[in-house]
Amino acid sequence: MAHSTVSQVSVAVPTGNDISIRRSVFKRNIINFGKKSWASNLSFNLKSRNAQKSNQYIVCMSVQQASKSKVGVLPSELETAKEPPLNLFKPKEPYTATIVSVERLVGPKAPGETCHIVIDHGGNVPYWEGQSYGVIPPGENPKKPGSPHNVRLYSIASTRYGDSFDGKTASLCVRRAVYYDPETGKEDPSKSGICSNFLCNSKPGDKVQITGPSGKVMLLPEDNPNANHIMIATGTGVAPFRGYLRRMFMEDVTLKFRGLAWLFLGVANSDSLLYDDEFTKYLGEYPDQFRYDRALSREQKNKSGGKMYVQDKIEEYSDEIFKLLDEGAHIYFCGLRGMMPGIQETLKRVAEQRGENWDEKLSQLKKNKQWHVEVY
């Protein structure tokens, strides 16, 4: 049973190049710990580093804290479904959801902008971890006058309970798609990503048309709580893995995870890291069950002196990864389609060095349902 205490907490957050500072907003929620409940009313702003004169942020907050118990979640029926919900809302009849919040996730030195977008679906569009929502941006499809835009798919970045733990919201991790003219070097708004910019420009209370949920490839297998999971992401491909890890380590749910979760995240630089504060927290709380390796292409070098990409990190830990796969671990890949050729080449090279046939090994991994890929 959790015992709640009220305490004043002071947190000093360094602002060196190795940590990305972001703004987090926690709305007021009733969160249950066993039979006890408490109301969180925590909101803190970490403003731009450039506006700070000192070398540290000092964040003071008064929160009601429980001991290491996980966060309670509702409604309980979200745990009892035998099959994942699929395509409850289709493109011709989408669900009208509401934007709750849009928060910039990356620091000032990140190339481009990535946002964390919370959407209120009122519990009417349930989903499982690893699934996607479709979003139909407002306006007319320029290629089909009189018709709406095509659906854009986004991996969901929250568990089935959402960031509010009540089963009524879903979170998306969206990078604003912009186009730069190669001749002038200037941004061309006419060629910007319609849906990503609509989402990143949204305000609380705005309406959004969603479809789905869709997808079964990236569902988290929960039949064996001792299973190990290797997650490889580039950029916003980290979205489903954030959901997995919250379910494994943050929430009090049916899954009593006892295996190893190992996340590889590839981004440009420290300011581009996504959900780094959450993942670092799990490292501190579950050091025997969580590993976290970052590949920062503009800050780190691989063993050949070139840029560090996720495939370089995979090669670095290849013996451990292959051993885990041989023992039945699941491996997941999510991110831009261009990530896979380099990863496949690396895995093939490593397999050959080990005296193994990669094509045969890959075929066996797929047959055993250990291999999960979602690229876009």
The residues pairing with 90 across neighbouring beta strands, listed in sequence order, are 93
Please indicate whether residue 155 is annotated as part of the active site. yes
Residue 155 CA to residue 174 CA, distance in Å, equals 9
Is 175 known to sit in a ligand binding site? yes
Please indicate whether residue 95 is annotated as part of the active site. no
Please indicate whether residue 285 is annotated as part of the active site. no
Is 242 known to sit in a ligand binding site? no
174 closest CA partner among 147, 159, 156: 156
Residue 268 CA to residue 167 CA, distance in Å, equals 33
Is 49 known to sit in a ligand binding site? no
Please indicate whether residue 374 is annotated as part of the active site. yes
Active-site residue identified among 95, 127, 133, 154: 154
Helix 239-249 crosses helix 276-285 at what angle (to 10 degrees)? 30
Burial of residue 235 (number of CB atoms within 10 Å: 0-12, 13-18, 19+)? buried
Please indicate whether residue 334 is annotated as part of the active site. yes
Is 307 known to sit in a ligand binding site? yes
Active-site residue identified among 101, 155, 158, 164: 155
Residue 298 CA to residue 313 CA, distance in Å, equals 14
Task: Using alpha carbons only, give the angle 73, 165, 110 rounded to the nearest 5 degrees.
Answer: 140
Residue 118 CA to residue 98 CA, distance in Å, equals 9
> Can you say which residues are annotated as belonging to the binding site?
155, 175, 236, 297-298, 307, 335-336, 374
> Can you say which residues are annotated as belonging to the binding site for NADP(+)?
155, 175, 236, 297-298, 307, 335-336, 374
Which residues are annotated as catalytic? 154-155, 334, 374, 376
